Chains A and B, each alone.
Chain A
């Protein structure tokens, strides 16, 4: 079975500071891992994904994440927070059932950026 744990439902950082959002996963098969961002009253937007290959994945808006199999982690980072980064962030793992990436999401982390 696949599941995701996001540590910290709320994270606050100062503008310009490092952003670190934590995600640990459980998967019975080699995982596909995703980070999505959700702005108020909008759908989810893909930030980045890991399928195979390079374990450091770069995404949009300056975000990146590193797949660490030994730690079953896929933490999201950004060197310098911007006010526009304030949003809800979801980590997800797929089960690849029926040849499709059915996604299993964590409970989300709300990022607040303090001016």
Chain B
């Protein structure tokens, strides 16, 4: 079956632009997670959804970062007024419930010039 997909795979933005990153979780998975992976680092937790409810957004680094999952399926991570320090790979993961194994997508590599 299809795994977690993310689009675009690569995104180049000029500093100050807004970007939107999409995650399509595995069908039927209740939980969805976003992580940020800077170059040479491990992934860092950003936010967590259970269905359409955003239960934890403690990892979002600033109010320029916003995530939504309006129908409890596809999720979008939006970054407003991008800065160079936002350059990273953004990983999405889903799981049947929050306590199960997380299945990761291939990530979106964001480069801010």
Measuring CB to CB, which residues of chain A are less than 8 angstroms from any residue of chain B? 4, 36, 41-46, 49, 90, 92, 96-108
Q: If the complex has contacts A100-B98, A101-B99, are A44 and B43 also in contact, measured as CB distance less than 8 A?
A: yes
7 A-B interface contacts by CB (under 8 A)? A49-B101, A97-B56, A98-B48, A99-B99, A105-B42, A105-B43, A108-B42
B42 (CB) vs chain A CBs: closest residue? A105
**B65 interface hit (Cβ, 8 Å):** no
A-B contacts at CB below 8 angstroms, number: 68
A90 (CB) vs chain B CBs: closest residue? B42
Cα(A96)–Cα(B31), bound, Å: 13
| Cβ-defined contact, A107 with B41, below 8 A | yes
B33 (CB) vs chain A CBs: closest residue? A102
**B25 interface hit (Cβ, 8 Å):** no
Cα(A56)–Cα(B101), bound, Å: 18
| Cβ-defined contact, B106 with A106, below 8 A | no
Give the chain B neighbours of A104 by CB distance below 8 A: 45
Measuring CB to CB, which residues of chain B are less than 8 angstroms from any residue of chain A? 3-4, 31, 33, 35, 40-45, 48, 50, 55-56, 59, 91, 93, 95, 98-107
- A111, chain B: closest CB distance, angstroms: 15
A108 (CB) vs chain B CBs: closest residue? B42
Give the chain A neighbours of B31 by CB distance below 8 A: 100
Give the chain A neighbours of B101 by CB distance below 8 A: 46, 49
- A105, chain B: closest CB distance, angstroms: 3
| Cβ-defined contact, B56 with A102, below 8 A | yes
B3 (CB) vs chain A CBs: closest residue? A43
- A97, chain B: closest CB distance, angstroms: 6
| Cβ-defined contact, B40 with A107, below 8 A | yes
